[in-house]
Amino acid sequence: MNSRIKKHKKLLIGGGIAIAVLAGGGMYASQTAKQAAAIMEEASQQETVSVEKRNITESVSATGTVTSVGKQEASASVTGVKVLTVNAAVGDTVKKGDILAVLDSSGIKEDLADAQNALGASKEKNALDNSSAQRSLAEAQTERNIALERADEDIASAWNNYVKAVDGISKAEQEYADAWTKAENSRLDLSAKIDELNNAEIIEYSGPPSSDYEKEFNESKEDLKKLVYALDDPSWNVERRITLSADFSEIRIEDIIGTSENADTQKIQRVLDELADYQQDYLTAAAGEAEAAQSATAYQKLQEENQTLQAAFDADVAALDQKNAAIESAEASANSALDAYRQQIRSKEDADRNSASSIDSKQDSINISAVTEKTGTQTEEKSIRGYQKQIEECTVLAETSGVVTSVAVSEGSLYTGGTIITIEDNSDYEITTEITEYDINKIKVGQKVIIKTNGTGDKELNGKVKTIAPRSTKAEAAASAAAVSTAGGVNYKVVVSIDEKNEDLRMDMTAKMNILLMEKENVLSVPFNAIQEDDTGFYVECPPENTSEESGTAAVPENRKIYVTKGLETDYYVEISGEGITEGLTVLIPQTDNASTSADLMLGGF
């Protein structure tokens, strides 16, 4: 500051010399200097503001349309019918239950009569089906009686066969002689086989099992894999080339190494030698095991043949014992015939069960017919209910109270479907708007909304964000008051509730809204254009606190910089804090470049 004051003093001294030299100019020169100083002072004046406590809010502005919360688009499921009467016009107030329109139901009534006739025919057919099922049941019962009679005849025949079997004793005696000869031949064959079994040579292998050598071989193979995988060129296929049946004389270490330069040839050769040794040990052990297994198989075969001959001999001896007693033989034949007799009895029982099952099936048919008689007409009955419902819907009723906002039909016209009359509740409103893709992520359900409409003037209405569409709608040209132009960008539909009643609200009014994102109360703030920035940070510039005079000449005062921390920012104000920031503090608004240039020009001209 002192340097700036001293510089200013030199300028004053120089000015004094100039005045002395120009003293001959007199009053004219002095008056000109005063005018120039006044011009400079006016040019150097800056706009100021005060640091004030304010309520600052960050918000998203939007424009929307007032719509009804409750809405009925009255229609009918029937189409292609004539509109007989229309009892409401746009602007009419209706109550729930009022008749809005009447459609021609004469054709539907004819269809209803046809459906009722079809229902009667279906019931008659079901009665005939039930009668047929009754006849089938009677036939099944007759067939059962016939089957039981035939079964009794088969049982009698089986009994006669049993009597004949008892007479077969003499035949069994001849069979005994034949069986003795057969048993003697079996004994001779068994004796020869026992001699062959006693003279058989058994070879055994007592060395280590081949699986041990196979395990050692596989372990060395894994070692070789590791050595090959460590090579620069690990392309040699160990898994395919190194097997228990491989010819190790044809395996060259040069083929394994290939172009690799980091091979440990000694270690690879040692592993190859181990693999060859384990292979030879494995083959030797496997051959010994195979020979021992072959010997054991041959001996086992002799044992099995001996067992077979022994079994045949035992069977022949048993046959002799059976044939030895003619009575026992006759009893065996008789028992067989008796079994056949008993089987016929069981067959009769099975036939009886099958007949009973058939009768049950016919009975089920009767039951099904009875069920069909009850349920088989459901389609016709459903059609009848549908026609009755259509006839009922031909009288179009108001399902809600409100005002009629559109009438899509007229008396005498043909109704082809769609909305007939639209009713909207004019006692409860909400606002529909669109938010751009740049702001939509800031909007949350439940956020407070300040609402103004052209119809309600400056009165602020409170609301909340009610719903946010999950998918976007393409922005359209600003042909509607609710549209938000984004130059073809993407918008999202947002619905805002109006939390207070107002008699001046009307549907389709334009609503301007501020959706509050953040709000701070009673914080120190300044206009955003009062904030400046340098290499140190953000600051505000304040006028000097006082001025000093030296040698009768006023010194040039310097403005003060106070560095601040910015808080919540809006389009107009910025929250600030910092040492020296107090309510009522005067802050300078920075001059524009044009103003500075003007002052410089005036100084040069002087």
**CB 230 within 8 Å of CB 256:** no
For the segment 565-578, the average pLDDT, to the nearest whole number, is: 90
- The pLDDT tens digits of the residues spanning 357-373 come to 888 987 888 888 777 76
Percentage, residues of the chain above pLDDT 70: 85
The per-residue pLDDT for 255 is 82
Token pair recorded at residue 593: 């470049």
pLDDT of residue 556: 65
Residue 304: both structure tokens together: 């099995």
HEC letters along 356-403: HHHHHHHHHHHHHHHHHHHHCCHHHHHHHHHHHHHHHHCEEECCCCEE
- Is pLDDT at 480 greater than 70 in this prediction? no
pLDDT at 330 > cutoff 80: no
Residue 190: pLDDT above 70? Answer: yes
Position 49 scores a pLDDT of 94
In this structure, the number of other CB atoms found within 10 A of the CB of residue 9 comes to: 14
Question: Which residue in the block uniquely carries the two structure tokens 């992520």?
Answer: 441
111, pLDDT greater than 90: no
Beta strands in 14-80 (DSSP E): 48-50, 52-68, 71-74
- What pLDDT does 488 receive? 57
Mean pLDDT of the chain: 81
pLDDT at position 601 is: 32
Which of 175-179, 226-230, 382-386, 590-594 is predicted least confidently? 590-594
Find out whether 344 and 151 touch, Cβ atoms under 8 Å.
Answer: yes
Judging by beta carbons within 10 Å of its beta carbon (0-12, 13-18, 19+), is residue 578 exposed, middle or buried? middle
pLDDT surpassing 90 at residue 35? no
The pairing of beta strand 461-474 with beta strand 560-563: unpaired
Residue 481, pLDDT above cutoff 70: no
Tokens standing for 425? Answer: 């509740």
Of 530, 604, 512, 513, nearest in space to 569 by CA: 530
pLDDT tens per residue, range 122-171: 878 778 878 888 888 888 888 888 888 888 888 988 898 888 887 876 77
The answer, yes or no, to whether residue 597 has pLDDT greater than 80, is no
β-bridge mates for residue 420, sequence order: none
Residues contacting 398, CB < 8 A, separation 6+: 72, 74, 94, 95, 96, 97, 98, 99, 100, 423
Edge-to-edge strands of the sheet including 93-94?
71-74, 421-424, 402-407, 93-94
What pLDDT is stored for residue 603 in this prediction? 35
* Element counts in the chain: helices (H) and strands (E): 11, 23
Strand, coil or helix: 481: coil
406: nearest Cα among 96, 71, 104, 66: 71
Position 467 scores a pLDDT of 94
pLDDT tens per residue across span 167-188: 876 777 788 788 888 888 888 8
Among 291, 295, 296, 298, residue whose Cα is nearest residue 210: 291
Indicate the pLDDT class of residue 248, thresholds 50, 70 and 90. confident
62-83 pLDDT, tens digit each: 999 999 888 888 898 888 888 9
DSSP assigned state of 507 = T
- Of residues 41 and 29, more confidence is placed in 41
Q: Whose CA is closest to 586, among 52, 50, 54, 53?
A: 50
Residue 5 clears pLDDT 80, i.e. is over it: no
Tell which wins on pLDDT, 332 or 554: 332
CA distances from 117 to 21, 111, 378, 381, 390 (A): 132, 10, 14, 11, 18
User: Which segment of 58-62, 327-331, 459-463, 567-571 scores lowest on mean pLDDT?
Assistant: 327-331
- Predicted pLDDT of residue 551: 43
498-535 pLDDT, tens digit each:
998 888 898 889 999 999 988 889 999 999 999 999 99
% the chain with pLDDT above 90: 23
Digit-coded pLDDT (tens) for 400-445: 888 898 898 889 899 988 898 999 888 889 999 999 999 999 999 9
Q: What are the tens digits of pLDDT across the range 483-495?
A: 444 445 799 999 9
Which DSSP string corresponds to 175-231? Answer: HHHHHHHHHHHHHHHHHHHHHHHHT-------S--HHHHHHHHHHHHHHHHHHHHTS
**What is the 8-class DSSP label of residue 568?**
E
Per-residue confidence (pLDDT) for residue 376, from 0 to 100: 65
Higher pLDDT, 9 or 549: 549
Spatial separation of the C-alpha atoms in residues 417 and 400, rounded to whole Å:
20
- Tens of pLDDT, residue by residue over 192-237, are 878 877 887 788 888 899 899 999 999 988 988 898 888 887 888 8
pLDDT of residue 579: 92
Written as one letter, the residue type at 71 is K
More confident call, 327 vs 536: 536
Cα–Cα dist 312/318, whole Å: 10
Using an 8 Å Cβ cutoff, are 496 and 435 in contact?
Answer: no
pLDDT, position 604: 37
- CA–CA gap between residue 499 and residue 460 (Å, rounded): 11
Query: What integer pLDDT is reported at residue 57 of this predicted model?
Result: 86
Read off the pLDDT of each residue in 243-254 and give the average, rounded to a whole number.
86
Only one residue has tokens 């008051």, namely 481
Tokens read off for 415: 């109704």
Q: CA 57 to CA 568: how far, in whole Å? A: 8
Given a cut of 90, whether residue 344 has pLDDT beyond it is: no
Rg value, the chain, Cα = 58
Provide the pLDDT for residue 41.
Answer: 56
Distance (Å, rounded) from C-alpha 499 to C-alpha 513?
14
Contact criterion met (CB below 8 Å) for 55 and 437: no
| Segment holding 305, helix H or strand E | helix 265-323
Rounded average pLDDT over 373-398: 82
What are the structure tokens assigned to 185, written together? 């031949």
Question: What one-character-per-residue DSSP string does 514-562 give?
Answer: EEEEEEEEEEEEEEGGG-EE-SS-EEEEE--S---EETTEE--PPPEEE
- Of 544, 531, 549, 547, nearest to 589 (Cα)? 531
pLDDT score, position 558: 86
* pLDDT (tens digit per residue) in 270-283: 998 899 899 899 99
CA distances from 108 to 111, 391, 415 (A): 5, 7, 14
φ, ψ dihedrals at 368, nearest 5° = -65, -40
